[in-house]
Structure 1
Amino acid sequence: MLDRSSKNASELKLVFHLSELRAPHNGLDIVVIPTLGAVDAADKHRIQCSWLKLLVASTDEDVRVFIFKWSVDIKREDVNVWQQLLYHGRVLVDSLRQARPLETHRRPLHFIVHGLGGVMLKQALYLAHYDYPAIRNALAGIIFLGSPHLTYVDDYRWETWRLLLKLRHKDVPKNILRRTDIQLLASVCDKFNGLNIQIPILSVYENIPTRIRNPVSIPLFHTTEQVRVDRRLATVKAACEELFGADEAHLDLGIAAQDTPLFKRLVIYLRKAPLVSTEVVTSAYRRLELTIDDSDMQSRTGYTKSHAGKEPSPPLLEVEAMPQIKHVLLPCYSLEHNRNEKFFGQRRILEQMDKVLISSSPISDSNMTPRTEVKSESAEASTLKTFVICGMGGLGKSEIAIEYMHSRKSEFDAIFWVNSASIQKLDAGFRDVAAKLGLQDEESLLNDDPEATRDIVKSWLAHPMRTFGADSPQTQAPVNWLMVFDNADEPEMLENFWPPGGTGSIIITSRDPLAKNGIFAQRTNKSKFIGIDISPMLIEDAAKLLQNVSMREDEHGSLESCIKVANLLDCLPLAITQMAYQIQAMHLSLEEFIEYYEEDTANFHEAALVSGLTKQQTIAATWSIEKLDPTSLALLQVLSVLDADVIQEDILLTGATKIQLDNYPKTRIEYFNARKTLMKSSLVSRNVELRFLRIHRIVQDVVRQKLSTELLRDVYNGAVTLVSTVWPYTDGSGSMATDRLRTIQQLLPHIAAFRLFNEVSWFCILRSSENILLEGAKYSALSREALLAIGDQGDARRYTKLLSDSYRYSGICSIEMDGVGAKEYCEKWMEMLIEQITEHQDPTDIYSLALSYSEYGLALMHIKEEQEALKSFERSCDALEEITPPGEAVYCFPWKHRARIMNYAGKPDIAESILAPILKAREKKFGIDDTVSIETSHLLLCMASIRHTQGRDQEAYELERRSLKTIKATAGERSLWTAQTQYNLARTLITRNELQEARELLKQAMVTLGDIPWHKPSQARVRWKLGRLLQYIGGQENGKEAMVLLDRAMQLRHEIAPEDDRREAELTDDDWNSLIYINHR
């Protein structure tokens, strides 16, 4: 527990007041929140008396200045640093309430906050927004001085937060910022963004590096210099935010020496503050007074505007033929869906709905869509109470409505659920309402047309009577009813089903965000409906929902694993629930699910394992992507490969005519229509003022998974074209121009999204069959092209990693194909790794360098530099032995390559001495013939080759059998490596006179090799071997086939080695092997 008497106590202190209060509500209150440890004995005089007094002296306003002193104890074990920090945010709110009594509530409130104090303030403002309106309405401006702001958990820049701690504390442990802490801090920043605060915000970032001393035990690197909070890390992306770069290091931002550009910028801000503050605060209190005045009049008089001068409404149901009283069947609960006992989170939304649908005096909430005038729903007795829930499929709109009608059942006499997906379903729903209320008998329901039933139900909803007929009582107890129009994705269809009046409650769920304020709302005499655009769940709620539904609460580390899964699923409720049931059904641990999900995401999204869920209700089917028109689909496909959060529309429009992608919108009208379609389904949302689109990440995943390799390439090419068109290329003269840098900042997230090029390239390498390896080469080249085009404008380490990976994958692709450029690519890869290791000593880079020596050796083998290749393989082995932990399996390929060279050099015993210990160690670690990876199958095949050279053919045969079995299990039936093993086993089978099996294996290998250009030598060899085998077997048909095969083999050979004019009969196995790259033999 934290308390104010503890070592890390906090205090709000009035440090000076320039003039007496002329009127308590006039003037300004400024609250200064220093960074960690800034208000100590050494800095106290400078901070409190120097720059602040000079700053506020620049205005003649009545100014009070408070300083919020705070500290944390990094050695506390019961409550960590970040929890202490956020606790101070709660204390700040309480302190402000005490320091600002009622008569000062309208004094505009400004904050100047430095460094890590920023997240404390964001926590305080979030709490005040919902619980302390006096603080919320007085908030007039914020200055953030080097305050980091991140909302994405998996952002590499979280390390900055730990480094900021090190500026004031010597012994800050590396694990002080755990993933759960990051999630907590990210949630606070995200909630702050969600407040959508419309006040001036000045975010100051650093242009000068800050020095941090490292422990003296680290050789060569005693200090590091780096800009701690740069422009990207400082921005809160608020509507009224300005960014300012200060030529100061991080700690100096809190001093703001006189005559510096930073001090002058703060003076400008403060001089503008009085006028802006008055407008902001007056507007806030005007909105508050409208709500208070209206509800106050109603509570004191019981009189509402809607009753004034109105005659009693005539009854709408005429039943002259029924002199007896007819009773409506009440209570009536048409609860079409069972309650979800595992409903979790979203309680705040239910409470918002209560304020609109039940409470006599609903309170305006910032998360609701505001109306033009805020007033009590009961202020107009004939007004329906309506709440609209908008959002894309899978966010849980219907689940919220179901939970609401079940949990609030006692508040209503009747509840109806109407599927609103079509006119036919709406008619069916109203027919069901008429039957259950007893408004029509069965015969009438069968004979009357739907419009008659519709009118009867609408009339009752407008005047809901308990009884009607000639002797019906004149006064009846009121009937409270609730109707849910579910799946109203075409809200205009509701117009003919909308009650003409009454005081009932209506919930609408719709994918169309315009359902709240579109034409339909205006036709029902509302400028707008109250409602929400629903967002994904908070990460904590999503993780707990997954934990609960999957019943994995008792699994070790389950909450942390659930947070990982929730992040993978982007906190989408449908995805969370569906995956939880799959975890149960497939008996998976959470860690197993993470592994399999990343391997086969598409199948998980297509599966339908939830009880009662059809194939049409799975994640992939929920958004009906296949039903989109071609132009909208093409636009969505391009959006799926760009940065999800902010996609500037200039990118999508400027280069539209250059993009080579079928159906992509080339004109503005085509684009506007496609955008309208996507927005209507809530697949994307749009910021109208800033003109950018946003798309949910899991939508991107599903769209990309549905693309073929060829179409995925075309979509990526198109995206690169669009971004390249608006990229501010320069000849160097204007490289640092402000406009250019601003444009680059906007485009960088999309370039970062292209990191997937490298990932796709690696996938193609691992699946090196058919022409997919060529796709891998293209993707790595695209990655490099994009990165080299933009230069190092972002984080240098991230940029270098992406660029070095592109050289790596280009080199590997070239090695596996024709070897062209492989040596140069590998050399560049090694060069960049060595530079990074020299600077950072990152273990990942050190390991990659060991691997690069092996790949470089393979590149040298392409150009026949065997001795240099052997040295490179040996260097790789030495490095891997040094860095591989004891008991772990070493990466075995460089040993295999060394053994192969020795064996082909006629030294099989030396080859065996190299390979045998590695194979034995692997068998000890994983067991015999493991399928953990492809490595064992390669070792077995290499050992078989050694055994053949030694004359131990039976052992070789057994090893080849084992190799084929394991390579099929790991690489699949159609990989190059499988074909290679099939060929070698077939050769052995021929010597054993097992001809039919040898024939089948050679045919399979020939099919796998196909007509891919870089496999031409292997194609020639396998055709020659199969042709010779068929000749040996004999028979007319075999003879004809053999001639075709041998002719084609010789044709390919002449293309590969045109100088060799020998006839087919003169050639041996060794002649065909010599054509083939050593690693493919």
Structure 2
Amino acid sequence: MSSSISSDPHPWLREIYRGVSVKAIVVLVPGIGIPLDRWQNGDGGMWLKSMPPTSSPEIAVYSFEHNIKPDDSFSWNSVFESGDRLFRELTELTGKDTQSCPIIIISHSLGGIIAKEAINRLSQFSELWKNMAGAIFLGTPHSTSPDVHTWEKAGAILRLYARTKNAPIRPNPKESEKLAQICSLFEQVFNQIPVLSAYETSPTRIGSFLSSKVLLVSRELAAINISSESLVQVEASHDKLCCLQVGSYPLDQISSFLESTFEKVRQNMQQYVPPLPMYEEAGGTSVGGSVLNMQEKEQELMREVSNLATQGSSSFGFEVIPLISGFDVDRKDPRLPCYIMPSLPRNHTFFGRSEILEEMKKILLVTAQKETQDLPEESRLPIVALYGPGGMGKTQIAAEFVYSLQSSFDAIFWLQADEEVKLSQGYTEIATKLGLVLEDSADARDPVIVRDLVKAWLQSPLKTYQRQENSTFATWLLVYDNLDNISLIEDYMPSSYACEGAGALLITSRDPLVKQYVASDDSAAIALPPFTTEEAVEFLLKLTCRQNEDSERESGNTVAERLGGYPLALTQMAGIISRQQLSFAEFLRVFEEEEVRSRFFKMQGNPRKRGSYQHTLDTVWALGKLSRAATMLLGVLSFLDPDSIPEYILRDVGSKVDVEDYPKTEAEYNEARTELLQSSLIARDWKTQRITIHRLVQDGARSKMSQERYNLIFYLTVRLLFLAWAFEEFSYDYTVSTWATNSVLFPHLSQLHRHSSKAEIPHTVTLGSLELSRLLSAGARFHHRRGMSSESTPYLNTAMSRCKTLQKNLEGHHDSESKALSKVIKVLIAEIHHDLASAAIVTNQMAVARAHFSAAYEIRLEFAAENPGKADRNLIIATNEMGNTHMIYKEWTQACEVYRRTVDMIKQLDVDTIERVDLLSVPMANLACVNWILGRLEEGVKIATEALAARKALYGSDDTKSMIVGRILHQYANLRTAQGRLDEAFELDVRALKHNSTVLGNKHQHTTDFRVAVATHCARQGKNDVAMTLFEQCLAIFTSREHFEPETARVLYRKGQLHVKMGHIDEGRKDLSKAWDLYCQLKKERHEDMKHRIEDLTDEDFTDLITFWSR
């Protein structure tokens, strides 16, 4: 776009471009000390002017002139006041001629803090807020932590441009707290509005030429972590981040962002219905909402909803429509091509296997290139399975196929398939990289949602959803590496395919039974043989660069025969030969020493596993040639997940441990790592800084350890992971801020759990002895909260067993240190009891849950008795959970008493207002619920309104800090329904549904509970089609997951009743019959009295089946 500079004398907002007509507004906020004329495009002009006209048609562009300089006059208060000033300027800017214009704010560096403060203020004015289209932040630090160390980078940014060393640029504790508050509130108010955050990848030099360089705003510091955010990487330093080259990827992303967000907000503003009063005021009448301006292409159901919106509450049109249509993740076109490649880099010394690769091409590649959209009655997926013992090169062959033929597929997804948790994480990565869900969104954190979305796309891999009738299918290749248990993928593969030839599957496995899975004409199971002697000789000569040395060929033949043709064994021995500069004859003399041979073969095991075992022996021999530091590093690697080991655990975290021989500095670490790389014992991807290691190398490393050394290295590895893990404070509520970190670490925790049975529990108890139990407990809690409740219990059981052993080891020790350790162990045991109970509730094991909750409560009581009269936070949590056990067993009066006691204890706790309100929210939600059940409606309303008012005073209305807000709103709605105030109840349940959709995602169990409530309201109001759609959405969630039979039964009953009401008698009978079957099944399982005819059932009978918090 072209521009003309305006002569507008406005002191704060300077107009730098204005089109003939203005339909959109862009406000630029430059960084502090970085003037707007630095926003260049590489050709001497501003990059905003070089964007395509479609990105920014008919716009006005303003620059906010804050005039803050990083000199002696600087103060952080001036930054905060500038945010308020920008807010006031925006209110004046959106006058009559621009009142319908969408606004986008683009800011650089610390100018983003000014922008966020202004946006926070703007959110309080609904008439202006509807204009807000989006925001772009170029290198703006963001954190909700008030820790001054977190905000040191903000001070460093100012130092970059400061003209004096005396400027007060580092935020003090109070200023850091204010910065954190701005960021926290921004996350809440902007969660549904598009954000693009750019971050730098190059460090910036601060100070003189000799000063060190610092990465000022990394991805982690730039990320706002809201569902509507997109992150863009810019290959520049911080001071160059605002200089975007024409045709560059970041500038293209910004152009696309501007175009899509402007269009989206225009559509929303066309459909906007101003909030209107629900109830009659004194002497007045209620007013209905205006007709929604829906486009003709909208679905018939949406037109029906629009018509209904004119007959009742405005919330129905303005709030319910997005919640209905938003149930399915927006069907954005997939981002293609999309490649998730192997974690190991391409092997440029790959050798042989040409016949196998050709056979793979015939099956996987040619089929994938078929251009067809026919839908055959039975489409088959072409599959190749490579199987054989470890060390044969299965993964290397698969990787070579993928790398060499990458351009032949629109999408390649390489997944580690040895554990379900890694499959689940792999599908999350597919969903986010394809664009099926937003990264770090609530949907992305739900493993069931991402699994189903990926399966749906694999089944029908359209390249675009814009022209479905003429759309072509994308070609994809899915690779399951190390799939030794074929049953793991049963829930991850589509049951049918819309297009024959669009997809293909490649499997590597050690299990020969995998061939039964691929028994079809268009698939193949290929058993990998060792290299022939001739192949092995050529491979060995290539690896050692001796192809032209005829004198070595004869000795090489003997070496190849001795190593048995195993590719990995040959690779490792070639590494030793090259590193030690041995001739093949010299290598054979060393290798065949009698002492070495006897040490090997006295260990010989099952002769049926001779091949794999022989390779392990060869590996053990190779390990004996390593330095002590490399041996120690390899030992740690042998206890971690082999497929993707982040180097920061080994290097950065490793620098904090003091264990003999383990590398303590980065230089020592690099030297040890290089030794392992040169010995071909590990592989490294330098781009991602991750290490991979073959499972047989791990086996060999561990087999070489004595029990004492096994213990040493195992607990060293535990220590490293313990220091890397993002622990949360124990509570009955939780956030998801640690999930991104811990999802990367969990596979390594799983490996430690697998190897823990061989590690001896220390007889001398220290705090370090508890690290594994604490890790397992935290990992199990993380697993449970991500929906893996059944899978979390083995970790908890191991943690409990180890704690009991440590407790026993302390018996008879009465010194103060032992008493303190005993107390710490008891605290951890109480937490494990709590987590076992939580998992048991989800899996409908109510007796187990009660036993564990009771055990946790008894321990907390014991500790509380030591300090009578003093409120104890952990006892408060345990007391609340005891109330839950009473609720589960329908002991309503006892539950009410316990919840009241919990509330009273919290009010006595010596904590700040924020922690007190957070602690009170859960028991008050429970207390409101039990009062509703007991018919104490006024008391329940009082509790619910008090809980909501307390949170509103701290965080604003319907804050998204915690999922508990949705529960309070829903309990409030139940109370209003019981009072006959049905319209108000409907409004409250709509708010609850909207809240949980934002916090937990559209398809979370608790979100679905509230969707049931809204559907029931719609059915009562006669909005039958809307109610039916909502009920069907609920069934899609409840029937796709285990343990939700009670919830499914209730939805089927209500849906069946609605069908009958609408005259759909046959459909109604089918749903009611299914509901009856589930009712009978559940009553029999619970050994409860039941009714004997479906005609005698009421809605209350089905509600009675459901856990109290879902009613």
TM-score (norm: length of structure 1): 0.37
State the structure with more CA Rg. Answer: 1
RCO comparison, higher one (Cα < 8 Å, 6+): 2
| TM-score of the two chains, using structure 2 as the length reference | 0.37
